[in-house]
Amino acid sequence: MSYQQLYINGQWLSPKNGQTFSSIDPSNEQEIAQVAAASVEDAELAVQAARQAFDQTDWANQPKQRAAYLRAIAQEIRNQLDALAELEVRDNGKPLPEAVWDIQDAAGCFDFYADLAEQLDPNHEENIPLADERFNSVVRKEAVGVACAIIPWNYPLLMAAWKVAPALAAGCTLILKPAEATSLTAIELGRIAEKVGLPAGVLNIVTGIGSEIGPYLTAHPEIDKVAFTGSVPVGKQIMQSAAHNVKNLSLELGGKSAFIIFSDSDLDAAVEWIMFGIFWNQGQVCSATSRVLVQQEIYPELLQRLSAAAQKIKIGNGLDAGVKLGPLVNAKQYQQVMQAIRQGQADGVQLLSGGQRPAHLPQGYYVEPTIFVDVPLEHPLWTDEIFGPVVAIRAFQHEQEAIQLANNSIFGLAGAVMSKDLTRCQRVARKLRAGIIWINCSQPTFTEAPWGGYKQSGIGRELGIWGLENYLEIKQITSYSSDQPWGWYTS
């Protein structure tokens, strides 16, 4: 299958400058595909196609038809579940069962927004009671226009679905720019769009180097909205770029989420959720609970159990049976994570387990599940997002201290709390300054519920009805309905 063309205006086009880049299988460091590297000329074609589809067709006024396309995309994703999941593993490295979840969730996301699109009535207008009865106001919602979605590599098809499905449901047209490390399933999504007959220009898929075409797209005057998921530094650049023409902007950025474990917790459950919270998807998860706060009474026992369990995790090629930890996505990510580990060791932070490439895997971007303990509060292992299978743990004495430590971060994407005392869990959940809080678990994510962060973790919410509203403008239409002259000039 070729990945050397861009999907623009319903057609497959080679990049104007003929450039491609390599996509690497991170389990063996071998190239799996050459991918089209769009130039700004190609990006411009995509913008014009999306603009035309929005301005010159009836797409924005046909929610029922949009719902039918979204449902057809969901069905086609399900039809191709096995192939898409395997492709995701080869491109990203994640274990196959996790890739299967992702693809199923992506299909579920298209179905969910198909339901919401079906409920949209383009003629629906809400009357707003006004104190001044000479006026009558109605409010309606309309698609924002042309959107540009820029996504990361950790959940390639799922992150595409989180943006493409609500944008199309809302009546926007779209340019999707996948991460260069993992473009392949996004291109497959283009083939699926073509197969279900999505009108030309409604969804355009432009693969390429973010730093080359990203600034062009995010500053483009004919793009109305930018929806970005990725790192904080790139998010800041995009804010600046989008400021040129004051674009509607939503940002889903990084995190360093805290998991508070109280001493009455079930230790087996604590070990399970701590590990899931930081080791699934190799810890390359924006909401990973990468800072763990454990109440002093159970600290030694929990550390001992956690370390023993982490050392039993099966590491290897994500396609091999029983593997729970695959390789990191690419050489850059591997080097960054290893650098953070080496820095921690050089600074004398206590390494409880892991910290190495597994001895039996000389090739591929593998890192052992890594646990640092008693991590100083000012150390980068405690403050910075590492985006790998590396957890930083500290003890705490009492509830207030745990809340204060958890909230002491520039990020505020997620948080988790574990205790048998559910009143305490609910109380702590309300004190944590983050957009997503888990009680007695970490990471489960639902298409129906809002997703997004406080502080530097982002702006706006995806998923649920909030995800749809991300792509809708609110318009008031106010009429003067009195027989009396207004009188500003005449009286």
| Binding interface with ligand NAD (CB under 6 A) | 150-154, 177, 179-180, 210-211, 214-215, 218, 229-231, 234, 237-238, 252-255, 286, 385, 387, 413, 458
Alpha-carbon distances, residue 21 vs 79, 209, 399, 435 (angstroms)? 29, 9, 51, 36
Q: Which is nearer to ligand NAD, 369 or 460 (CB)?
A: 460
Compare residues 190 and 316 and give the one whose CB is closer to ligand NAD.
190
Question: Considering beta carbons, is residue 187 or 373 the nearer one to ligand NAD?
Answer: 187
CB of 209 to ligand NAD, least distance (A): 7
Q: Which is nearer to ligand NAD, 67 or 157 (CB)?
A: 157
Q: What are phi and psi of 324, to 5 degrees?
A: -110, -20
Identity at 202, one-letter amino acid code: V
DSSP state of 138: E
- In DSSP notation, 333-362 reads HHHHHHHHHHHHHHTT-EEEE--S--TT--
- CB closer to ligand NAD out of 298 and 434: 434
- Residue 333: CB minimum distance to ligand NAD, A: 7
Nearer to ligand NAD, 251 or 270 (CB): 251
Handedness of CA 225, 230, 236, 238 (dihedral sign): negative
Active-site choice (109, 148, 172, 286): 286
Q: What three-state secondary structure class fits 223?
A: coil
User: Is position 252 annotated as part of the catalytic site?
Assistant: yes
User: Does residue 109 carry a catalytic annotation?
Assistant: no
Least separation in angstroms between residue 26's CB and ligand NAD is 14
List the catalytic residue out of 76, 98, 180, 252.
Answer: 252
Instruction: Write b or e for each residue in 344-382: b if 16 or more Cβ atoms lie within 10 A of its Cβ, otherwise e.
Output: beeeebebbbbbebeeebeebbbbbbbbbbebeeebbbb
Smaller CB distance to ligand NAD: residue 254 or 326?
A: 254
Nearest in space to 332 (alpha carbons), one of 440, 433, 246, 210: 210
- To the nearest whole angstrom, how small is the minimum distance from the Cβ of residue 427 to ligand NAD? 26
- Stated as kind and residue range, the H or E segment containing 468 is helix 464-469
β-pairing verdict for 454-455 and 390-396: unpaired
- In angstroms, the CA 268 to CA 469 distance is 40
CB of 129 to ligand NAD, least distance (A): 38
**Closest Cα to residue 236, out of 454, 469, 457?**
457
Could you tell me the smallest distance in angstroms from the CB atom of residue 297 to ligand NAD?
33
Q: What's the CA angle centered on 187, arms 59 and 286, to 5 degrees?
A: 95
Quote the DSSP letter at residue 198: P
Q: To the nearest whole angstrom, how small is the minimum distance from the Cβ of residue 181 to ligand NAD?
A: 7
Known catalytic residues? 252, 286
